Amino acid sequence: MHPEYADYLFLNFERRLIALKDLFDELIRRADDNIAVLENYMANHEISEVNWLGMIQWQGSEAQEYVIEDIDEDVHPERGYRAMYDLRSEYFMYFDYKTFKQKVRQQVKKKKYMQTLKVQNMQGMKAT
């Protein structure tokens, strides 16, 4: 027996193993119940097109597509967030300035992260 297991009684091994099996069985059963409840909820409720603030969802919106284009063209460092916000009606019609600025920063971080992964992949480095 390994020295790190010396404090454990071998007599209790079977009981503890059975307890772990029961715990995993219970967790799997609960996961199955959760999936069934989620599927029922999704079948009975439409997907919301607006968030609790009344703004449209960012993912997949026209505003997100335009932000990605503007980031690729480096509009945000040249003109600033406010000028970028005022540039297109899709931005200020659906989002307030604070939310828009947060989403742009999020997209910039995502672009930087994806570039880092691409460089690491080209260099054969392991991504963390």
For the record, the structure tokens of 23 come out as 């715990």
Instruction: Look at residue 18 and tell me whether its pLDDT is greater than 70.
Output: yes
Instruction: Look at residue 29 and tell me whether its pLDDT is greater than 90.
Output: yes
Measured CA angle at 99 (ends 88, 56), to 5 deg:
70
Query: pLDDT (tens digit, 9 = 90+) per residue, 106-122?
Result: 999 999 999 999 998 88
The contacts of residue 88 (CB under 8 Å, 6+ apart) are: 63, 66
Q: What is the pLDDT of residue 67?
A: 94
Contact 63, 95 (CB under 8 A): yes
Reduce the DSSP state of residue 50 to 3 states and report it.
strand
Question: What pTM was computed for the model?
Answer: 0.60
Number of DSSP helices (H) and strands (E) in the chain, helices first: 6, 0
